[in-house]
Amino acid sequence: MFFISVDRLIALAFPILPTYCEPGDQSVGDALSKTFNLNITLILLTIIVYIILGCLVKFCKNEHNEAIQTQKIYKSLAIIITSIVLLDFIGMFAIKMITPLLSEDPQTRFLYFRLFAQLITVSGAINAPILYFYSTLYRTTFNKQFPFIPVLINKVGIKQGNNISTVKPSKQVVKPMCEIK
């Protein structure tokens, strides 16, 4: 409600300036570039965290970890990182470089901006589908929580193969970092 009232106020004050009832309409110049830089920083931090997790999974093995389990976890992490990098940077490249070339009309540019921004949104939500298709434990948990998922997948025609990683819960001993060899 507040943003709608701000939008109406701006529309009355500047009738030649089209607004779309979003805070981003007021973000131009330095605010827009700072927001873009913050977005890139957060994406890079996310990627760094995933890389650190991958290194911990790969190199901090103990006697309870199985090699196959570790490889499958590492593979799913690699797919998640790759999809985040590709979708985020393709989306940002399209927003910054391709959208200005496609049209001069503000409404059309806004449409293209929104379409390319969906790539960034998908990259933020890609973890759940990847884990669903690569882990039996995640798949059974998702199917319990959301019983419509198997019905939807069968209607779409996706066939689930047997090449799924199985993560077996095991008893793990947590040791301080200084004692890990």
Residue 158 located in a structural domain: no
**In the structure encoding, which two tokens stand for residue 153, read together?**
């997948």
- Report if residue 54 sits inside a domain: yes
pLDDT at 38 (0 to 100): 84
Q: Is residue 93 part of a domain?
A: yes
Whether 10 maps to a domain, the answer reads no
pLDDT of residue 130: 86
Token pair of 64, please?
Answer: 């309870």
Give the chain's domain count: 1
Greatest CA separation for the chain: 70
Q: What is the pTM of this model?
A: 0.59
Asked whether residue 175 is domain-assigned, the answer is: no
Q: What is the pLDDT of residue 165?
A: 46
Please give the residue range of the domain that contains residue 82.
Answer: 31-125
Q: What is the pLDDT of residue 31?
A: 67
Distance CA 170, CA 65 (A): 8
Q: Is residue 20 part of a domain?
A: no
Model pLDDT, residue 166: 47
Q: How far is 62 from 111, CA to CA, in rounded Å? A: 52
**Could you report how far apart the first and last alpha carbons of the chain are, in Å?**
58
Is residue 135 included in any domain, yes or no? no
- Residue 138 within a domain: no
HSE, CB side, 13 Å, CA atoms: give it for residue 99.
20
Tens-digit pLDDT string for the chain (181 aa): 677 677 677 767 766 766 565 555 555 567 667 877 887 888 888 888 888 887 887 777 655 556 677 777 778 888 888 888 888 888 888 888 888 888 888 788 888 888 888 888 888 888 888 888 887 778 888 888 888 888 888 887 766 655 554 445 555 555 655 555 5
